[in-house]
Structure 1
Amino acid sequence: MRKLLGAIAAVIASVTAPAVAQTEDAYAPARAIVADIGKIVTPNGVQETFEATLGGARQVVNVRGADKDNPLLIFVHGGPGAVEMPFAWAFQRPWEDVFTVVHYDQRGAGRSYPLNDPATLAPTMTPDRYRDDAIELIELLKKRYGKRKVVLMGHSWGSIVGLSVAVKRPDLLYAYVGVGQGIDFREGEKAGMAWTRARALAAGNKEAVQAIDALAPYPQGEFTIAKADGWRKYAIPYGSLIYNKPDLKYYFQTPHLSPEYGPADIQAWGKGSEFSVTTLWPRLADVSFKPVRKMDVPLVFLLGRHDYTVPSPVAAEWFGKVQAPSKTLVWLEHSAHMPMVEEPGIFFAALLRDVLPLAKDKP
C-alpha cells in the first residue's frame, strides 16, 4: 500500500502486508481465546453479524449486547475507511452490558470493501450518501430490534456522518455522541498544522517546520490527501492521535486478535482504507457545521484534551455556541484522538452518567 495519512498508513501497511498474512494462522489460538471471553451467553443477549444493503451498497453490520431490551448504540467509524469493528473487542465489552452496540463497515471500508465494485462505488462516496446510509441503517435496526430511537456515536470522520444525521433526522435519536468530533475540515487542518509546527519548533525539528511551511497555502486551495499526510506524519509522533504514545505499532496489531476479522478481512481493511481516503478526502474540503446554531437532539461530546488529529478546541468552540435540548461536554484529560482506548474507564463512566439516562422514551 502506498503511503497515506503518514504514520497511520505506514503501520496499517505493515500489519496488512502479504508477508504478515502468510503467518496469520499464528493468531488463530489467541483469537479463539478472545472470542470465548467475549461470547454473549445471556438469555436475552444478541451477537450477530449480517449484511445490509444501504443506498445500494452492501455493508457488513455487527451487533453485540447482553440484553436486547437495552438501548441501541450505533458506532459510526472514522477514517474515511478506518473501521472500528476489529478494534472494538479491546474496549467495548463493558458497553455491551448496558447498550446493544452496533458497528458497521461503511461503503468501501473493511469487510464491506470486497462486497462492491470500487469503480461503481467511487462516484457515490459523498458525505451526503454516507449520512443517508446511516439513516437507512438506523431505520433497519429500529425495525429489526423493535426500538423507537437509538443513540448515535460518531468518531473522527464518523462524527461528520453522525452529526449530519443528527441535523437531518433528530427524530431518530435519543442523543448524539461526538468523539474526536469534526466541525470544519479546513479550520481543523489549520489548527492541527499550527499545533504540530509549534511542537516541532519547540523541539528544534527544523525538518518538520520546513515541511509544514512548504504545504502552504493548504488547507486553503487544493485539498488533497498528500497535503494532509504532509503534516500528520509529524503530528502523530508528538501524540496527536494517542496521547504520549507515538509508537502506534501495537495498537494497529489489535485486529489480528479480533474474532470479527480473519486474515482476508485484515487485507480488506488495508485496501479499503486506501481506497476510501483517496476517494473521499478531496470531497470533504468545504464540509462545515459552523453555520449550524441549533440542534434538536441532546448532544454529548467526549473530547480528548490533546487531540490534534481532529483538533478538539475547534469542536469545543462550536459546542459552546450551539443550542440543543441538553448539552454535556466531557474532557478526557489524558487522551488525544482515541479516548475510548486511552481512558476506557473514564469513557465508560461518561456513557453511564451522561448518555444512558438520555436513552429513555418520554411519556
Structure 2
Amino acid sequence: MRFSILVAATLAALSTPAAAQSEDPYAPARAIVADIGKIVTPNGVQETFEVTLGGARQVVNVRGADRDNPILIFVHGGPGAVEMPFAWAFQRPWEDVFTVVHYDQRGAGRSYPLNDPEALARTMTPERYRDDAIELIEHLQKRYGKKKVVLMGHSWGSIVGLSVALKRPDLLHAYVGVGQGIDFRKGEKAGMAWTRAKALADGNKEAVAAIEALAPYPQGEFTIAKADGWRKYAIPYGSLMYNKPDLKRYFQTPLLSPEYGPDDIGAWGKGSAFSVATLWPRLADVSFKSVRKMEVPIVLLLGRHDYTVPSPVAADWFAKVEAPSKRLVWLEHSAHMPMVEEPGRFFAALLRDVLPLTDAEATP
C-alpha cells in the first residue's frame, strides 16, 4: 500500500525545471524507451485497450513476446498507485515467458478521467475491486484463448488478488502475493511499532512523539491521514525501499514510460489522491487471518525489510495456511518493492516457482 504522502512526493519530483521549459521535454527519451521495448516477435502482443468492468471504464495494457505464453495479471497497489507507468523499468524479461497484463483500476491512473468520480465513489469497495478483477480475467481468457491465468497482487492489489483466489480459484494457475497484506489493523500496528523502534534508536524525538500522538490508531477511526502520519517517518528508514530513503529518482520513472504521457501522469496524481481518500476508511476491518485453506497454489515474494505492509504478518499467515502447493520466497535486500529492488532475483523466482505451475494449461 503506497499512500498519499507518496503521491505528494511524486508530484513534487515531477515538478522539475525541465518540465516548466517545455510542454513535454521527455518525449524524445520516451521514444527511445518505446523503441527499445517494442515487441517485434511474430506471435507477440503489444496493445492497450479499454474495457468496462462492473460498469466502470478501465484501461488495460498487454505485452508479451508470444501470445501462447501463460497470462500474468499484475494487480497494482495503492489504492490508486498504478504500476503501468513503472513497468518498463523492470518487466521486459518477464515478457519472454509470460503475457503480462496491467490495468489501471477504477478511479486510478488512465482510468480516472474515464468515469465520473462522484458516481464512482459509491462503488469503491474491496468486493467491487475483486469482482472487477474476475471480470477482467474472464475477458482475457476469451480474448487470448486461455483457460487460466497467474494473478499477481502487489500491496493493496494483494488484497484484491487474494480475494479473487478465494472466490474463484478455478480461474487461476496460481496466486502470487508481493508485499502481501493480510490484516489491515495488525499490519498498521506492526509498521508503527517498527518505525517507533527505529526512531528511538536514531534519537528522533519528533518521530516518536508523532507516532505516539496517533493513538489509539490503528484502533478506532481509520483515516489515511493517520496512516500517512507514521509512514512519513517509516519511508526514510527504508520501509518502502531498503536502504534507499530518497525516492525522487524512482518516482520520476513514469516520465519515460511509453504508456504514459503528461496528461496521464496528471490523472495518476489526481486518481491516486481520490482513490486512497475514498477507499482507505473502508479497509479497516479487512482481514484474511481466519483463512486456513486455499484451493489454488500460492507463492509469496516478500521483501525481508518490508514494513510498509509488514512482511512478518504475511509470513505468519503463510505458515498456517494449507494449499495445493505453497512457496515463500524472501528477497533479502528488498523492502516493499522487490521487483524494482532485486529485479534479477525476482525474475528468477518467477521462472523457478511460478512458471512451472502453468504447465497444466492444456488440462480442461
The TM-score, its normalising length taken from structure 2, stands at 0.97
Asked if structure 1 preserves the Cα contact closer than 8 Å seen for 2:14 and 2:252, the reply is no
Identity between Structure 1 and Structure 2 (%): 84
Cα distance in 1 between the residues matched to 2:73 and 2:27:
28
Secondary structure in 2 aligned to 1:148?
coil
Q: Deviations over 1:52-84 (max 9, x none)?
A: 000000000000000000000000000000000
Q: Could you tell me which amino acid in structure 2 is paired with residue 43 of structure 1? A: P
Give the deviation of 1:25 after TM superposition. Answer: 1.6
Give the deviation of 1:15 after TM superposition. Answer: 3.8
- Give matches, 1:25-36, under 5 Å: 25-36=24-35
Cα distance in 1 between the residues matched to 2:322 and 2:315:
13
Q: Could you tell me which amino acid in structure 2 is paired with residue 36 of structure 1? A: D
The TM-score, its normalising length taken from structure 1, stands at 0.97
- Residue of structure 2 equivalent to 1:247: 246
Q: Could you tell me which amino acid in structure 2 is paired with residue 326 of structure 1? A: S
- Give matches, 1:104-253, under 5 Å: 104-253=103-252
Cα distance in 2 between the residues matched to 1:310 and 1:328:
19
Q: Could you tell me which amino acid in structure 2 is paired with residue 221 of structure 1? A: G
- Give matches, 1:1-363, under 5 Å: 5=3, 7-16=5-14, 22=20, 23-361=22-360, 363=363
Give the deviation of 1:12 after TM superposition. Answer: 1.6
Cα distance in 1 between the residues matched to 2:299 and 2:75:
15
Cα distance in 2 between the residues matched to 1:19 and 1:137:
40
Following TM superposition, the consecutive aligned residue runs of length 4 or more in structure 1 with deviations greater than 2 angstroms are 4-7, 15-24
Give the deviation of 1:133 after TM superposition. Answer: 0.1
Greater shift, 11-20 or 303-312, is seen at 11-20
Q: Could you tell me which amino acid in structure 2 is paired with residue 187 of structure 1? A: K
Give the deviation of 1:121 after TM superposition. Answer: 0.2
Cα distance in 1 between the residues matched to 2:121 and 2:43:
40
Cα distance in 2 between the residues matched to 1:83 and 1:218:
27
Cα distance in 2 between the residues matched to 1:42 and 1:193:
48
CA separation of 1:87/1:290 partners in 2, compared to 1, >3 Å: closer, same or farther? same
Q: Could you tell me which amino acid in structure 2 is paired with residue 103 of structure 1? A: H
Give the deviation of 1:332 after TM superposition. Answer: 0.1
Cα distance in 2 between the residues matched to 1:20 and 1:181:
37
CA separation of 1:20/1:54 partners in 2, compared to 1, >3 Å: closer, same or farther? farther
Cα distance in 2 between the residues matched to 1:309 and 1:17:
25
Q: Could you tell me which amino acid in structure 2 is paired with residue 131 of structure 1? A: R
Asked if structure 2 preserves the Cα contact closer than 8 Å seen for 1:6 and 1:233, the reply is no
Structure 2 gap segments, 5+ residues each = none
Structure 1 gap segments, 5+ residues each = none
Cα distance in 2 between the residues matched to 1:57 and 1:219:
31
Alignment root-mean-square deviation, CA: 1.3
Give the deviation of 1:7 after TM superposition. Answer: 4.4
Greater shift, 136-145 or 353-362, is seen at 353-362
Q: Deviations over 1:19-48 (max 9, x none)?
A: 875435210010000000000000000000
Asked if structure 2 preserves the Cα contact closer than 8 Å seen for 1:176 and 1:297, the reply is yes
